[in-house]
Structure 1
Amino acid sequence: MSVRIVIAEDAALFRAGLTRLVEDRGHRVCAAVADGEGLLAAVAEHRPDVVVADIRMPPTHTDEGLRAALEIRDRHPGTGVLVLSQYIETRYTAQLLAGNAAGVGYLLKERVADVAEFAAGLERVAAGGTALDPEVVGRLLRAGRHADGLAALTARERDVLALMAEGRSNAGIAAALVVTAGTVEKHVASIFDKVGLPPAEADNRRVLAVLRYLSS
């Protein structure tokens, strides 16, 4: 699918590289800006499918990109937000996922080097899915391993939930763990049961399970 994107990154070379990368994958970059204010203006003008933003941008290089991303999620809930960070900062993950994990991504900048994986994550976020960095997910999993509900999960169920948190489909999880899709389906059903998520037409249980996991 072709995705309309706004990029926000203050490093000119990295911004140009991101632009070239996503355009080579058949997507359209509507605007490429260098700060949070420019990002908000570009989103208001172009209404992209997804935003790719560095967490730290001018003028203070602290959390300008994150604050802009949160504002975009509030003002333009249909726009996916994929934030990039040089380091693991798990507190930002919780802020991004607060209320709704749909259309959210958090990746380390080094992941961009794996073009196929980065592009897949970008497309998942644009389609309303999630794309969370494996290192961030691993740290959150270690921190929450004794949380209520999650404590009942087996080691393999934790592996499956971690991959769900990264945004992978059942087929993607099966490939990563070298098991059958049927086996993954059984693990996912068991996870839903153990964390107390019965079937409900109005709820996306995958997203809710991930939120339960990340908020632990």
Structure 2
Amino acid sequence: MRVVIGEDEVLLREGIAHVLASDGFQVLASVTDAVQLEREVQRHSPDLVVTDIRMPPSYTDEGLAAAIRIRRSRPDIGVVVVSQHVQRRYAVELLDGGGGFGYLLKQRIADVRTFTTDIRRVAAGGTALDPEVVSVLVARASRGDSPVGRLTPRQIEVLGLMAEGRSNAAIAAQLVLTEKAVVQHTSNIYDALGLPVDADDHRRVLAVIRYLQAAVPSPR
């Protein structure tokens, strides 16, 4: 699996590169700013991009903007953004293109096994959201008159774990349910969110997209 990394902090950049290389990833390039990141993506056409949100020169959202442009021009490339902070709007902007997206907090990267598992899930077209990101989104999505706001507390729990990228088996283990019960909850979630049974798109990803869109107010 071929990866390009964008991170201005040298220790973190080298650490991510080392962790991924040790787990069998091929690190094609490791750069310090968004301009270089997009250049290397265009040059190498990787399977996955891992980038910080805040990068030089202004240290605001250059990495995020680059990630969005990469998503729009190359939807076949998975994108994982890493940050020290939770920003709801960032998550929605990036996930708007479908699967193949992750939003992880930097402090979680120390859990190497979970980090590489999340990376592989994103590269395969799935989603991987940090539990803290999901917690913030749950609080926002559960309010108001959106379809998500009408889900039961248990359905919200299941949808939150789906947003993290968990499998039915993992959700069942965490919530102490049977997999059959999880399947029933997910079916009810699809119905509540208006996802037809014969949808061509990956319904799990569609559910997460609806979830995140409900969690963030429309731009004014």
Given the two structures, how large is their TM-score scaled by the length of structure 2? 0.93
| Whole-Å separation in 1 of the counterparts to 2:58 and 2:146 | 39
Correspondent of 2:50 among 45, 49, 52: 52
1:89 maps to 87
Correspondent of 1:151 among 142, 149, 152: 149
1:27 maps to 25
* Offset of residue 201 of structure 1: 4.1
Correspondent of 1:121 among 105, 118, 136: 118
2:40 maps to 42
> Which amino acid letter does the alignment assign opposite residue 197 of structure 2?
P
* Offset of residue 210 of structure 1: 1.0
1:15 maps to 13
Deviates more, 1:123-132 or 1:87-96: 87-96
| Whole-Å separation in 2 of the counterparts to 1:150 and 1:114 | 31
The SS at the match of 1:82 is strand
| Whole-Å separation in 2 of the counterparts to 1:45 and 1:155 | 46
* Offset of residue 65 of structure 1: 0.4
| Whole-Å separation in 2 of the counterparts to 1:61 and 1:200 | 44
5+ residue gaps, structure 2, are 215-220
Listed one character per residue, the Cα deviations across residues 31-68 of structure 1 (whole Å, up to 9, x for unaligned) are 10000011011111111110000000100000010011
1:103 maps to 100
2:217 maps to none
The SS at the match of 2:27 is strand
1:210 maps to 208
Matches within 5 A, 1:154-169: 154-169=152-167
| Whole-Å separation in 2 of the counterparts to 1:165 and 1:105 | 10
Once the two structures are aligned, what percentage of the paired residues are identical?
51
**Deviating 4+ runs (over 4 angstroms):** none
What is the root-mean-square deviation in Å for CA atoms of aligned residues? 1.1
| Whole-Å separation in 1 of the counterparts to 2:148 and 2:75 | 29
1:138 maps to 135
Given the two structures, how large is their TM-score scaled by the length of structure 1? 0.95
| Whole-Å separation in 2 of the counterparts to 1:208 and 1:56 | 28
| Whole-Å separation in 2 of the counterparts to 1:137 and 1:82 | 15
1:63 maps to 61
> Which amino acid letter does the alignment assign opposite residue 206 of structure 2?
L
5+ residue gaps, structure 1, are none
